[in-house]
Structure 1
Amino acid sequence: MPINTSSQDEGVTGAAKFVTSTLGNTVGGVTRTAGGVTGAATRGIGDTITSATGSAGKPVGDAIGNAGTGVEDGAKRVARGVEDAGQWR
Structure 2
Amino acid sequence: MPLENSNDKGATGAAKFVTSTLGNTVGGVGRTVGNVTGAATRGVGDTITSATGSAGKPVGDAISSVGTGVENGANSVAKGVENAGQWKS
TM-score category by the smaller chain?
over 0.9
The residue number in structure 2 matching 1:37 is 36
Question: Which string of whole-angstrom CA distances, capped at 9 and with x for unpartnered residues, describes residues 26-45 of structure 1?
Answer: 00000000000000000000
Question: What is the identity percentage for the equivalent residue pairs of Structure 1 and Structure 2?
Answer: 76
Structure 1 stretches of at least 4 aligned residues deviating more than 3 Å after TM superposition: none
Question: Which string of whole-angstrom CA distances, capped at 9 and with x for unpartnered residues, describes residues 61-89 of structure 1?
Answer: 00000000000000010000000001100
CA distance in 2, matches of 1:4, 1:30: 33
In the alignment, residue 13 of structure 2 is paired with which amino acid?
G
CA distance in 1, matches of 2:29, 2:85: 14
**C-alpha displacement at 1:7, in angstroms?**
1.4
Unaligned runs of 5+ in 1: none
CA distance in 1, matches of 2:51, 2:18: 49
| Number of residue pairs matched by the alignment | 88
Unaligned runs of 5+ in 2: none
Compute the TM-score of the two structures, normalised by the length of structure 1.
Answer: 0.95
